[in-house]
Amino acid sequence: MGCAVSPDQPFISNFMDLATESRIVMTLDAGGTNLRFAAMRGGKPVTETVSLPSNGDDLTKCLANIVEGFTRVKALCPEPPSAISFAFPGPADYPNGIIGDLGNLPGFRGGVALGPMLEDQFDIPVFINNDGDLFVYGEAISGLLPHVNGLLEKAGSSKRYKNLFGVTLGTGFGGGIVRDGNLFVGDNSMAGEVWLLRNKLHPTMNAEEGACIRAVRRVYSELTGIPFDEVPEPKELFEIANGKHSGNLTAAQEAFRRLGESAGDALGSALTLIDGLAVIGGGVSGAWPIFLPALVDELNSTYTGPDGKQFRRLASTAFNLEDPDQLEIFLKGDNRTIKVPGSGRSLDYDPLQRVGVGMSRLGTSEAVAIGAYAFALQKLGPQ
């Protein structure tokens, strides 16, 4: 959905221009079933993808396949790679390359020094991060953030955004933060852990239980009486909600609406602190036409004070950047000219404080790969 930013759009502030980079970085997309290896240069793939089984319950086999995968990709590279950079599930001590106790890769128990092992094997720097962090970093460099700033420039607006918060809606509910071109990981490599925010609809649960694949399936199960194990996956539920597949249309629509409300509440808490744009990706993101309006409505909802008066959930107005009418207002702003008291001078002034929520312009996997590539280059320093 959407389109990637065109190469002539300007980069801002501390954001790097990947097109000028000649260094090669090997990457890995690590899942519970498969490990997919590739290499990038200039923000583009330079090798085919090598896929090997994860063998997550057998540490010896898993590590052997990781080494084998990078060995094969290195042989495909047109010149020696400068680094390895990839996303790997947490918990982890990412700066030191140590993987902790993983749920979907049970062989990693007690701490595994994966990064140092690969550095010894390939004699190049190795960088590991959370996939939510790298997704947002990719979108900040080559996706939604420059896309929106390019639209603002074309609209003649002086408004520009430097901060991006992002979430992935899939098996889990991941998040990440980019501030002025830099990935913000926190002191314990655990910044942006949006999945642990409180669940608005079920306050004893965490936000992930309202904003992931199983959340959509669970609501559909509750509303229809169909056993959870027999509920279709979100792609089919989206088709049901659109009337393109047999099933309970009302229940499917409500399942996605609740997803939007739950995710919107979590994003509201994050955007209150970050004050920037928000981007959404992940396996459920294709259903955005149904859940995104509810998400933005939640951002624009109100609190009620002790005196009964209402006030905004966010200090800024939130806009759905996928809605053409809202996008037009967002880009136009409320430009006016005001006089400086006691002076003959005038200033341009846009009092419309606003944030926007849009969908990934790169696709989740590509954004993660670009984020991994850019993070390695940022750590390596100038060419």
The pLDDT value recorded for residue 10 is 38
Q: What's the average model confidence in pLDDT over 67-89?
A: 95
Residue type, 379: K
Tell me: pLDDT of 8 over 70.
no
Does the CA dihedral 135-138-142-144 come out positive or negative? positive
* Cα–Cα separations (whole angstroms), residue 310 to 94, 137, 200, 296, 301: 43, 36, 18, 18, 10
Tell me: pLDDT of 2 over 50.
no
Q: Which domains does the chain have, with CATH numbers?
A: 18-134 (3.30.420.40), 144-359 (3.30.420.40)
Q: What is the pLDDT of residues 109-152, one digit of tens each?
A: 788 999 999 999 999 999 999 999 999 999 999 999 999 999 99
> Which of 65 and 107 is assigned the larger pLDDT?
65
**Going by C-beta distance under 8 Å and a sequence separation of 6 or more, which residues neighbour residue 244?**
none
Q: What is the pLDDT of residues 173-199, one digit of tens each?
A: 999 999 998 999 898 888 999 999 999
Identify the band that residue 14 occupies on the pLDDT scale cut at 50, 70 and 90. low
Residue type, 368: V
The pLDDT value recorded for residue 9 is 39
Identify the band that residue 31 occupies on the pLDDT scale cut at 50, 70 and 90. confident
**Percentage of residues in the chain having pLDDT higher than 70:** 96
230 secondary structure, DSSP code: G
Q: What's the average model confidence in pLDDT over 206-229?
A: 97
Q: What's the average model confidence in pLDDT over 294-317?
A: 97
CA dihedral angle for residue 360, residue 361, residue 366, residue 372, rounded to 10 degrees: -80
**Cβ atoms 97, 130 nearer than 8 A:** no
User: Where do we find the tokens 């959407």?
Assistant: 2
Q: What is the pLDDT of residues 313-356, one digit of tens each?
A: 999 999 999 999 999 999 999 999 999 999 889 999 999 999 99
Indicate the pTM of the whole model: 0.91
- Residue 301 in tokens: 């909802």
Mean pLDDT of the chain: 92
Q: What's the average model confidence in pLDDT over 359-380?
A: 94
Beta bridge partners of 26: 39, 84
**Percentage of residues in the chain having pLDDT higher than 90:** 81
Closest-CA residue to 161 (of 328, 11, 375): 11
* Cα–Cα separations (whole angstroms), residue 182 to 82, 136, 138, 177, 220: 21, 11, 11, 9, 39
Q: What's the average model confidence in pLDDT over 85-91?
A: 87
Identify the band that residue 29 occupies on the pLDDT scale cut at 50, 70 and 90. confident
Question: What is the rounded CA–CA span in Å between residue 176 and residue 135?
Answer: 8
Tell me: pLDDT of 1 over 60.
no
The pLDDT value recorded for residue 7 is 35
Tell me: pLDDT of 262 over 60.
yes
Beta strand 83-87 with 24-30 is parallel
